[in-house]
Every structure is written in C-alpha cells, then in structure tokens.
Structure 1
Amino acid sequence: MKILDKILFAQDFMPSSENIENVAISLAKTFGSAIVPIHVLPDDVVNPKVKHLLDDTANARMVKTKRHLEENGVQVHSPIVKYGVPHDQIVFTASSENANIILIGSGETGEEDEFKLGTTSERIIQNSEKPVLVIKKDSPFQVKTILCPVDFSDPSERALKNAIIFARRLDAKLIVLSVSEVSTTSWFSSKADLEQENKERAKTNAEAFKAFLGKFNLEGVNWLKEERSGNAAKEILQSIQYNNVDLLMMGTAGRSGLNRFVVGSVTEKVIREVPCSFVTLKSQDVISLHLETDIKDFEKLYEAGVQLEKDGLHEAAIEQYKASLGINTMHVPAYSAIARLFDKLGQPEKAGLYRKNANEIKERIWYSKIEEEVRKLRGS
C-alpha cells in the first residue's frame, strides 16, 4: 500500500543538491516512495564536442546519484537527462511520469537578493499542476511543525487534507491558520464604524473556520488552530517565525482558461519570502492512494490496513482489512478493526455486524480449544 508512490527529484548538481538528495531519501523512506531523478541540460549548445562532453558528464553524475539513492535503501527509477528549458522539462516529465510530487531546491540566490526563491523554482510552481516541494538551502527535512494556512477554498481544503497525513507520518505538530482580512477603506464615517466592520469580519471568519475544520478527520493529530487578523501574506510569514515552522503547506489559487497556471497573489508573496521549506498544491494531491489488492499475504494486507487507519483514511483502511479477510476469514483483529472504524464513521449497524462476526469466531475458537482439551483428557 502506497500513498505517495513517486517523487520526481530535480537534480541540478548545485552546492545545495546533496542536501536535497538527502531529503529525497528521507521522504521516500517515510512514504515508501520511488524516486525518479531528472537533470535538464541547456539546448542552445552549438559545439558538438561540448554538447557530447556535457551529455557524458550529466549521465555519469546521474548514475552516481542513482547509486547513492539505492545504497540508502530506496527504490530508484532510471535517471532522466533532458535538454531544454528546465522548468518546462521538469513540469512535462512530472506529468508524463505521473509523479505525485516534484522535489526541487529553492535556487541559489544571494543574501542581497530581494526575493529568496530562484526563477526556475518559481516558474515550476506557476506551471505545475503537480504538487511541488521546495527545500530551502541547507534546510534538513526534520519536520516538527507544519503550518497550513486555509481560506476555505478547494485548494486550501486539498492542502489541509495532505497536511494532516504528513503530520501523522512525520509525527509533527500541525497548525491550521486562518487570517481574517482587515478593511482599511476610508469609506466609513468614523474609526468606530471601521473597527466594528473588522470585528464582524473576524466573527464571520471564525464561524466559517469552525465549519471548515469540521470536514476533516484530525483524530490522533497533535494540532491547533490559529486565528489572526490583518494582511494574509504578512500574517502567514509572522506565524511561521513565531511558531518556528519547519514546513509550510499551501493551496494555490489555480485559475481556469488562459490564466490557469497563475499562482494566487497571497501564495506568490509568501513563497518568495518564506524562510522554511514548503509544499504548494494546485489541482492534485500529494497523497494518491494505491490499495494492495493483488498480493496473497493476508498479514501484509492487514498491516496495510493498520497504516491506513493511522493515516486517518478510514474508508480505505476498511477496504484493506476486508481484503485481508478475503484470504483469512477467521482473522478476528480484522473484524474488530472494521467494527471500530464503522463506529468512527457513524455506521453502528455495520459496526455491530462485524463485531458479531468477531465474537462468533472467538466463541468457535474457544469451543474448539475446550473440545481439544476434553479429547486429551479422554486419551482419544
């Protein structure tokens, strides 16, 4: 069972690439993912000897990358070397390889640069429908605190759904942030009227926030909600600093038509200045569930169900437990687990049915043991 099947790792061989390679290993081990390394060479090299040298060097270094990843116990697909514009080739390959997520560095920028996000990284985020994980320079993937800002839109709903699973798998604290935008218009006749307007906005936002959170299963997650008022981008950045956030997960405002790749203005402001690593999600989830239904080992199927239950994916866990019962119909823990999950899903009749099955099997096993003891005593 995999929930993050494939990571497209953009290897640029810059000084920070070794750290990003280690992040790829950590992420792959956490989620049982395969890694697809890619490197993009310029397509404007005219001299054939230089082009040949570049090609040989890149392929040799990609073989070395693959070997290093494999030595660390992760599955690696054949490295990909392409020519062209880096962000175009990376986005295209992520789609053609059906990767769950693109892993990139934030880019090599100087301390004096106004924006801390490199051009290639920014364009990948703008153009990719796939989620993008951007690792800040020299930032290890030691995630203790995750921040997920929400505006109650579909992209932010997707971001929170994925952030919850990341928090469970990484055993990290999750902060869900909502910012009530403050009006600064001069239309109001008095300062008191303006303050009352912003007070009402905050109240309405708090009610919407509560209703939004009610959609999610946060059972077993170490989480808290944070409510702020002000400029959304500024408040998100301040929350990151105040809470010492290690990973930001944000939904981006994907548009339709010709502008469908435009990143929302709040996201754009935040990702240019954010001091930590971050994930952006537009129209696709990082998490894409692949249930194990073709293996014949009921214990592996049952263990997959246990992991799905820990991930909070209750419906999927039930299906996995049922698959294990298809092989071993006497497995009481699977019946009990399904009953427990149906209780959590508010389906007591189904829970009772599976609980009854579990009890009947327990009684059958108990009576079988009694009969066996009686036969031993009789010497038969």
Structure 2
Amino acid sequence: MKLLEKILLAVDFGKSSQNLVQSAIELARIFESEIIPIYVLPDDVTNEKVNTLLGETALTKLKQTAAHIEKEGVMAHEPVLERGTAHEQIPKMAVTTNANVILTGSGETHKNDTFRLGTTTERIIQKSEKPVFVIKEGVLLNVHHILCPIDFSEASQRALKNAITMARRFKSELTILNVCELSKSTWFSTDNLLEVANEEKFREERQKFEDFLKEFNLSDLNWTKEMPKGNPSEEILSTISKKMIDLLIMGTAGRTGLNRMLMGSVTEKVVREVPCSFLTLKSEDMISLQFKNHINDMEQLHKTAVQLMNDGFYEEAKDHLKACLALNDMHVPAHKTLAKVYDKLQQPEMARMCQKNAKDIMDKIWYQKIEEEVRKLRGS
C-alpha cells in the first residue's frame, strides 16, 4: 500500500540543489516513494558543440543524483532530461510519468526581496494540474507544524484531506485556519449596523467552519482550529510567523481559458511571500491510496491494515483485516487490530466481540499446548 508513489524531482544543479535532493529523499522515506529526477535544458543554444556538451554534462549530473538517491536507500527512476522551458516541460513530464507530486526549490532570490518565490517555480505552480511541493532554500524538510487554510471550497477540502494524512505521517501538529473577511462597506447607515452585520457574518462563518470539519477524520491528531478576522493572505502569513509553521498546505482553484495562469489572489500573494516550504493542490491529491492487486499474503495484509489504521483510513483497514481473517480466521493479531479499528469507528460492541475472539483463540491455543505437554509426559 502506497500513499505517494512517485515524486518528480525538478533539479537545477544550483547551490540549493543538495538541500532539495535531501528533502526529496526524506519525503520518499516517509512514504516509501520512488523519485524521478528531471532537468530541463534551454532550447535556445544554437552552437551544436555547446549544446551537446551541455546535454552530456546535465545527464551525468542527473545520473549522479539518481545514484546518490539509491545509495540513501530510496528507489530512483531513470533520470529524465528534457529541452525547452522548465515551467512548460516539468508539468508535462509530471503527467507523462504519472507522478503524484512535483518537488522543486523555491528559486534563488535576494535576501531582502519581498517576493521570495522564483519566477520559474511560480510558473510551474500556475501551469501544473499536479500538486507542487516547494522546498524553501536552505530549509530541511523537518515538519513539526503544518498549517492548512480553508475557505470551504472543493480545493480546500482536498488540501485538508492531504494535510491530515501528512500530519499523521510526519507526526506533526496541524493548525486549520479559516479567515473571516469582514465587510468595510460604507453603504450601512451607521457604524452600529455595520458592526451588527459583521458579527452575524462571523457567527455564520464559525458555524460553517464547524460543519466543514465534521466531514474529516481528525481523531488521534494534535490539531487546533483558528478563525481570525481580517485579510486572508495577511492572516495566513501572520499565523505562519507566530506559530513557526514548517509546512503550508493550500488548495488553489483550477482555472480554464485565459485565466488558467492565475492561482487565485490569496494563494498567489501567500506563496510569493511565504517563508516556509509549501504544497499547493489544484485538481489532484498528492496523497492517494494505491493498493497492490491480489494481495494474498496474510502478514502483508495485516501490516498494510496497521498502516492504514495509523493513517486514519479505518474503513480500508477493516477491509484488509477481514481479508486477512478470510485466509486464516485464527490470526490473533488481525482480531486485535480489528478491535482497535472498531474502537476508532466508535463501534464498541464490534470491538468487544473482536477482543473476545482473540482471547478465545489464545485460550484454545494455550489448552492445546498443555494437552500436548501432558501427552509427552505420559509417553503417549
């Protein structure tokens, strides 16, 4: 069972590449993923000799990167060398290779720049339908606290679903943020009326927030929710600073036609200025359940079920445990794990029944052992 099968690693061999590659390795270790290194050469070099030399050098460095990944105990795919513009070719190859996510650096910017996101990376985010995971320069992938801003849209549903699984795997804290943007309109006859209207809007928004969260499995997570009033992008950036956020996960609405290049004004402002690593999701999940077909190994089924339970996929864990017991209904660990799953699903009667089944089997095995010992002593 894999939640994140393929990572398309976009390297540029710059000074930040070492940190980016190491971050990819850490992410791949956590999710048991395969890394596909990719580099895009410019296609505007007219000198044939120079062009050939650049290609050979880039391919050599790509192979060195793949070898380093393998040496670290992570699976590396055959490197991909493309020609063209990076923001065009990388999203295309993400589709071609069926990658779950594009991992890239934030790009090199000057120390005092207000906009901390490089142009190429910003364009990759704009172009890609695949999730894009951006690693900030000089910052290791060491996730202790995740922030997920939501606005009740389909995009933010996707973001929160992925953020919950990431928080479980990283064993990190999760803050879920909804910003209530109050009206500043002057058409109200008095300030009193404006204040009353804004208070009503805040109450309605808070109820929406509560209802929205009911759709998600947040059990066994260290999580908090916050609902400040103000400008969404400013409040998101402020929360990142105050809470020392390591990873921001945001949904961004997919666009069509002439507006396809837009990310949405809030997302665009935040990702340009955000001081931490971040993940943007448009129309696809980074995290998705992918099972091996026809698993008929009992121990593997149980191992997968335990991981599914730990990741919060309780129904899927239950199905795997039932498949395990179909192969051997005397498998005590499966009965015990199934009891835990039923506890998570708030089905105490079923949990007690599974615990009883496990105890009955263990008692039966114990008495069988005693009988065997007695027979040996009697010489029969």
The TM-score bracket by the shorter chain reads over 0.9
**Partner Cα distance (1:35, 1:344) in 2:** 34
> Are residue 270 (structure 1) and residue 263 (structure 2) matched?
no
Deviation at 1:177, TM superposition (A): 0.6
> Are residue 216 (structure 1) and residue 231 (structure 2) matched?
no
> Are residue 342 (structure 1) and residue 339 (structure 2) matched?
no
> Are residue 282 (structure 1) and residue 282 (structure 2) matched?
yes
Conserved 8 A contact 1:128-1:261: no
Structure-2 residue corresponding to 1:165 = 165
**Partner Cα distance (1:345, 1:171) in 2:** 21
Q: Secondary structure at the match of 2:227?
A: strand
Conserved 8 A contact 1:90-1:124: yes
> Are residue 180 (structure 1) and residue 177 (structure 2) matched?
no
Structure-1 residue corresponding to 2:132 = 132
What residue identity is the alignment partner of 2:207? E
What residue identity is the alignment partner of 1:212? F
Deviation at 1:180, TM superposition (A): 0.6
Please give the residue correspondences for 1:70-81 in structure 2 after superposition, counting only pairs within 5 Å. 70-81=70-81
Please give the residue correspondences for 1:3-14 in structure 2 after superposition, counting only pairs within 5 Å. 3-14=3-14
What residue identity is the alignment partner of 1:124? I
Q: Which runs of 5+ in 2 are unaligned?
A: none
Structure-1 residue corresponding to 2:58 = 58
Please give the residue correspondences for 1:117-128 in structure 2 after superposition, counting only pairs within 5 Å. 117-128=117-128
Conserved 8 A contact 2:247-2:276: yes
Greater shift in the superposed pair: 341-350 or 32-41: 341-350
Structure-1 residue corresponding to 2:153 = 153
What residue identity is the alignment partner of 1:167? A
Distance 1:293 1:333, change over 3 A: farther
Please give the residue correspondences for 1:62-101 in structure 2 after superposition, counting only pairs within 5 Å. 62-101=62-101
Size of the aligned set, in residue pairs, is 380
Q: Secondary structure at the match of 2:228?
A: strand
**Partner Cα distance (1:344, 1:138) in 2:** 40
Q: Which runs of 5+ in 1 are unaligned?
A: none
Identity %: 54
Report Cα offsets for 1:242-274 as digits up to 9, x if no partner. 101110000112235554553111111110111
Deviation at 1:12, TM superposition (A): 0.6
**Partner Cα distance (1:38, 1:370) in 2:** 62
**Partner Cα distance (1:22, 1:344) in 2:** 35
> Are residue 108 (structure 1) and residue 134 (structure 2) matched?
no
**Partner Cα distance (1:316, 1:261) in 2:** 37
Conserved 8 A contact 1:173-1:223: yes
Structure-2 residue corresponding to 1:29 = 29
Deviation at 1:327, TM superposition (A): 3.9
Deviation at 1:290, TM superposition (A): 1.6
> Are residue 233 (structure 1) and residue 233 (structure 2) matched?
yes
User: Taking structure 1 as the reference length, what is the TM-score of the superposition?
Assistant: 0.94
Distance 1:326 1:260, change over 3 A: farther
Deviation at 1:46, TM superposition (A): 1.1
Please give the residue correspondences for 1:304-343 in structure 2 after superposition, counting only pairs within 5 Å. 304-343=304-343
Q: Secondary structure at the match of 1:89?
A: helix
Kindly report the root-mean-square deviation, in angstroms, between the aligned alpha carbons of the 2 structures: 1.9
What residue identity is the alignment partner of 1:136? K
Deviation at 1:294, TM superposition (A): 4.1
Report Cα offsets for 1:314-339 as digits up to 9, x if no partner. 12212332343344332112123223
Please give the residue correspondences for 1:352-371 in structure 2 after superposition, counting only pairs within 5 Å. 354=354, 357-371=357-371
Report Cα offsets for 1:275-315 as digits up to 9, x if no partner. 11100011111111122454554223312211111111112
Structure-2 residue corresponding to 1:48 = 48
Conserved 8 A contact 2:39-2:81: yes
**Partner Cα distance (2:232, 2:139) in 1:** 25
What residue identity is the alignment partner of 1:178? N
User: Taking structure 2 as the reference length, what is the TM-score of the superposition?
Assistant: 0.94
**Partner Cα distance (2:209, 2:245) in 1:** 21
Conserved 8 A contact 1:38-1:79: yes
**Partner Cα distance (2:98, 2:61) in 1:** 24
Conserved 8 A contact 2:87-2:120: yes
Conserved 8 A contact 2:126-2:260: no
Report Cα offsets for 1:151-202 as digits up to 9, x if no partner. 1111111111111111111111111111111111111111121111211111
Q: Secondary structure at the match of 1:179?
A: coil
Q: Secondary structure at the match of 1:4?
A: coil
**Partner Cα distance (1:222, 1:343) in 2:** 19
**Partner Cα distance (1:363, 1:113) in 2:** 69
Conserved 8 A contact 1:233-1:270: yes
What residue identity is the alignment partner of 2:191? K
Conserved 8 A contact 1:254-1:261: no
Q: Secondary structure at the match of 1:45?
A: coil
Structure-2 residue corresponding to 1:301 = 301
**Partner Cα distance (1:161, 1:116) in 2:** 27
Greater shift in the superposed pair: 108-117 or 255-264: 255-264
Deviation at 1:343, TM superposition (A): 4.2
Deviation at 1:10, TM superposition (A): 0.0
Q: Secondary structure at the match of 1:272?
A: helix
Greater shift in the superposed pair: 345-354 or 323-332: 345-354
Report Cα offsets for 1:95-119 as digits up to 9, x if no partner. 1111111000111112343421111
